[in-house]
Chains A and B, each alone.
Chain A
């Protein structure tokens, strides 16, 4: 373990937080900056340090900071891809030529990255004996405070992760649990699809924005997505959509977890029975989350990136997903964008010609 080398691909809030987390264990970690040689980047390259503050206070020395992906990946055992999901494709394109047998890729959060990476490797004619892991979500809500310090508002207690091939999941989970020991626990899942579809964002993000569109347009700066947007009735509608997701999961042979149970796993157990109750409970991390927009990524990313593939998988399995479909249609109508055509569809994942069994097997 002490010889395990990590590379974080990305330089945003989450990527820097992971650098600090790994560095705190005295493990070698290199940060790859994908875009520009910013002031932050130049200082980090010089000083090679990263820290967390707030809900967690740890940090340490980095092994290096580079914009050269080949250098960043060279000799790395773990490649941690920690970027918004719209950046997966361009980063995978740069990453694939330098992949080596035996490397372990972890995508945080997953968002169907496993399918996408395998498809892109196939298209690029690159065959490697690698593992691909995904997480359901980021382990913390955090924001960069200054170039070498990330404020962690709230860490999650536990979250799910899966690996393809499945027999390597124990190993990858053990490594990450060692890195995060005492802070976050990673719970093994059966396959990547389970991780992809256990994404709560597609449930708790779009519908409340759509049903509060007017208020968000008027008072976006002070509007609180969870506290103002998830009313008792909207909580019920959101839970109905979640139930639809769980039914789709069962039909696909996956063991999914309700959003409410995931929120309790992330932020603390209590006896809330509805999302509304949980959001207003003492364990809620949402009281101070202010600001929303009708063009928010809660729609622009979560609808095409998660609701659309969930709906398309349901259709492939011969099921109706009326609430997902309604959310996609309404978001498409309001944004004047065809989110099915623009979204993560079965073609972009390279699974349009596969049966459900073949799809699940592919990421097991």
Chain B
């Protein structure tokens, strides 16, 4: 099996090490610049994980030529922040060939976006598109060829379009991550898109701690300082809205708290606040926040906006989500609905809700 990892950041390098440790052929594609790190990796062709997991191995190659990276690859793993999906898909699409399997980690509506862009570019290929609900680990590059894993997740959802190929895709990733992370099959990509708990965990606490973050951003801890008992209660309301959208769209979603338990370990906590302060919490040392951080600049337009717009299409109101979008827009002086992942950017504006679900099933 041949893999190409498209991306060179924390998560991308970690996946390279994970795949390499299974002795599969894996090529890393660097999308931006020929950095010192890149040159050393291309020379030495090795990648390792340390911390919560210790493994690694040899890469088949590292390149800045996307055609070369994709050539002969059965699996194309797109592992970049979601704002980079569009430019990377643009470079990727001309080189797609029948039979390739694209996996986007985490998904964030990439399936819709990729299908729409392929259509616009007139490219029709018999490929599969998979998405995971989240990154399988919290990690940070330590040195050029070593990634520090702070905490891996136990399991998470993954979906594939067409749906008939999902069990095969899950089997392949479960084999690679065997003993570390388990991928659970979702019904469709939309289910995976809506399971993104950054929706619930990220923007709201930033908005309600704006002043403290402005004053003490360097030492502020998003989860420990920002998620107070009251704010945790409000986040639950936001999460309930997400669950209601799922139910309306016929999707089986998991609430935020049960996802946290699935990721980091079960316990008997009843609130997000209690989980964040429990022994299973991975958040105690997560320090640093900014009022213009990606918890607002990415998660409001990229996660909350599309879910809000889908809900509106389905005839639902999401007052808490709408409030978060309006408040973030006001504070940042940016119209996050207009600038966000809209139904137009996903190619869904003219479809019914049923057609949307079918499109990615």
Residues of A within 8 A of B210 (CB): 211-212, 233-234
Contact of B231 among A208, A217, A234 (CB under 8 A): A217
Contact B230 A217 (CB under 8 A): yes
Complex Cα distance A229/B208, Å? 12
Contact A330 B323 (CB under 8 A): yes
Complex Cα distance A234/B212, Å? 11
Contact B291 A233 (CB under 8 A): yes
Complex Cα distance A232/B211, Å? 9
Contact A214 B323 (CB under 8 A): no
| Chain A 329-343 interface 0/1 with B at a Cβ cutoff of 8 Å (1 = within) | 110011000000000
A241's closest neighbor in chain B, by CB? B330
Shortest beta-carbon distance from B233 to chain A in Å: 10
| Chain A 250-291 interface 0/1 with B at a Cβ cutoff of 8 Å (1 = within) | 000000000000000000000000000000000000000000
A82 at the interface (CB under 8 A from B): no
Given contacts A333-B234, A333-B323, contact A214 B330 (CB under 8 A): no
Contact B211 A212 (CB under 8 A): yes
The residue in A213, A217, A234 that gathers the most chain B C-beta atoms within 10 A of its C-beta is: A213
Contact B230 A213 (CB under 8 A): yes
Shortest beta-carbon distance from B277 to chain A in Å: 13
Shortest beta-carbon distance from B333 to chain A in Å: 9
Contact B234 A231 (CB under 8 A): no
Contact A214 B212 (CB under 8 A): yes
Contact of B209 among A215, A228, A323, A329 (CB under 8 A): A215
A234's closest neighbor in chain B, by CB? B211
A237 at the interface (CB under 8 A from B): yes
Contact A333 B319 (CB under 8 A): yes
Complex Cα distance A75/B331, Å? 54
Residues of A within 8 A of B234 (CB): 333-334
Complex Cα distance A329/B320, Å? 9
The residue in B205, B208, B230 that gathers the most chain A C-beta atoms within 10 A of its C-beta is: B208
Contact B330 A237 (CB under 8 A): yes
B312 at the interface (CB under 8 A from A): no
Complex Cα distance A217/B227, Å? 10
Residues of B within 8 A of A212 (CB): 209-212
Complex Cα distance A334/B228, Å? 13
Contact B211 A228 (CB under 8 A): yes
Contact B231 A326 (CB under 8 A): no
Residues of B within 8 A of A23 (CB): none
Complex Cα distance A322/B330, Å? 9
| Chain B 105-118 interface 0/1 with A at a Cβ cutoff of 8 Å (1 = within) | 00000000000000
Contacts from B to A (Cβ < 8 Å) = 205, 207-212, 214-215, 225-226, 228-231, 234, 237, 291, 319-320, 323, 326-327, 330-331
Other A-B pairs, 6, CB within 8 Å; known A211-B210, A329-B319: A211-B211, A214-B212, A214-B231, A233-B210, A330-B327, A334-B234
Complex A-B, nearest 4 residue pairs according to Cβ-Cβ distance, in ascending order: A214-B209, A212-B211, A211-B210, A213-B208
